[in-house]
Chains A and B, each alone.
Chain A
Amino acid sequence: EAGVVQSPRYKIIEKKQPVAFWCNPISGHNTLYWYLQNLGQGPELLIRYENEEAVDDSQLPKDRFSAERLKGVDSTLKIQPAELGDSAVYLCASSVSTGVEQYFGPGTRLTVT
C-alpha cells in the first residue's frame, strides 16, 4: 500500500514569491491534515479536512495561506506571498477518520530567502 505522497520534497524561494505544496493521501482516508513543523518543535496543525470540507482551519494564517481538497482526495497548500518566517517543514497526514492513527508523508522543506 502506497503511503502519503508529498511534493516537492524541497523548495527554495525568495520572499514575496508564491509557493504550493501537494499531498496525495492514502486511498480511502477521509481525513487529511496539514501541519507546519519548525526545527526542534512538534507539528502545528494548520488545517484539517473531512473529505472535501475544511473542518478546522483556525490555525491557518488566512491572509497568506490557502488550501483546497477538491473531490476529497488530494490537497494543495499555498502560500502567497511567502515570508522569511515561513521557512519550515510542511507535513501532510491522513487517517481513516478523525482522531485515529495518522499516517504522515515525508514533508516538504521550505526555505524562504
Chain B
Amino acid sequence: SQQGEEDPQALSIQEGENATMNCSYKTSINNLQWYRQNSGRGLVHLILIRSNEREKHSGRLRVTLDTSKKSSSLLITASRAADTASYFCATGEDMRFGAGTRLTVKP
C-alpha cells in the first residue's frame, strides 16, 4: 500500500508561474522526501525535510511540513518548461510513494 498521496493529480500552468502540490500521509514519520520523474526517465531526489523542520529551501523549491496535519507542500517558483514532470512524495523508512502529481509547464 502507498503511504503518501499527492494532490492535485495533474496541474497545468504557464511558464513563469508558481506551482504548488501537496502530499498527505497517514502515519508518523521521521522525514519526508520529494522526487521528480521526467517522462521516460528515472526518479531524481529533490529535497528531504525532517520531522522537526517546518520549511526547507533548495533553489526554486520550497517545501513545508506540517506534522500535526500530516501534510507537506512543494512549491516551485518561476516555473520553466523543463519542470514538466511527475512529482512524488515518499515517507518513512520503507519509502512509500504516492501516485504523484503530473505537472505540465507550458512555454
- Of B11-19, B39-47, B66-74, B76-84, the one contacting chain A is B39-47
Contacts of A103 in B (CB 8 A): 45
User: B residues 20-72 with Cβ under 8 Å of A?
Assistant: 30-31, 33, 35, 41-45, 48
Residue from the list B2, B4, B95, B99 in contact with A102, Cβ < 8 A: B95
Residue from the list A44, A48, A91 in contact with B43, Cβ < 8 A: A91
Q: For the complex formed, measure the closest distance between the CB of B92 and the CB atoms of chain A, giving whole angstroms.
A: 7
Interface size in chain A (residues, C-beta < 8 A)? 22
Q: For the complex formed, measure the closest distance between the CB of B62 and the CB atoms of chain A, giving whole angstroms.
A: 18
- In the complex, A85 has a CB within 8 A of chain B: no
Q: Is the CB of B93 within 8 A of A41?
A: no
Check A42/B45 contact, CB under 8 A, given A98-B93, A99-B31, A99-B93.
no
**Whole-angstrom CA separation of A41 from B93 in the bound complex:** 20
Interface on B for A, CB 8 Å cutoff? 2, 4, 30-31, 33, 35, 41-45, 48, 88, 90, 92-100
